[in-house]
Amino acid sequence: MTQTHIILCGAFLYIYSLPSLQLNVTSEAKKHAKGSSTMDAVLNLLKTLEVDQTVFIQFAIFLIAYFPIKYLIFQPYFEAYRERIRRTEGNQQDSHNFLAEANQLKEQFEENSRS
């Protein structure tokens, strides 16, 4: 399973476990749920959440919007972010090297000036 599937399953299980959804079940639904299987419970939950055939259209719209946004906005942003981190860490390393070299030259200068 991909991360998306795991996230969707986790969200579904979280929504299914919400007490507010369990409290709004009618007595008829309770009678039906006692003798029903897990699949019936899932279908009842989907009906309670008003999930219908438009979920496929919504998912298609999500995919159509997701990929352009991913490649046009998120990917360039994260590339620039990684480059910025790389340059910052590189400059910090260079500054530490320059400080160490400066301290070494200072010690050599003090040593030479004493003699």
Q: CA angle at residue 107 from 105 to 112, to 5 degrees?
A: 95
CB 15 within 8 A of CB 49: yes
Q: pLDDT at position 23, please?
A: 46
Please state, in angstroms and as integers, the Cα–Cα distance from residue 55 to each residue in 6, 49, 62, following that order.
Answer: 18, 11, 10
Tokens standing for residue 71: 């490649």
Q: pLDDT at position 65, please?
A: 96
Q: pLDDT at position 48, please?
A: 87
pTM, two decimals, is 0.41
Tokens standing for residue 40: 């019936």
Q: pLDDT at position 67, please?
A: 94
Residues of the chain with pLDDT under 50: 21, 23
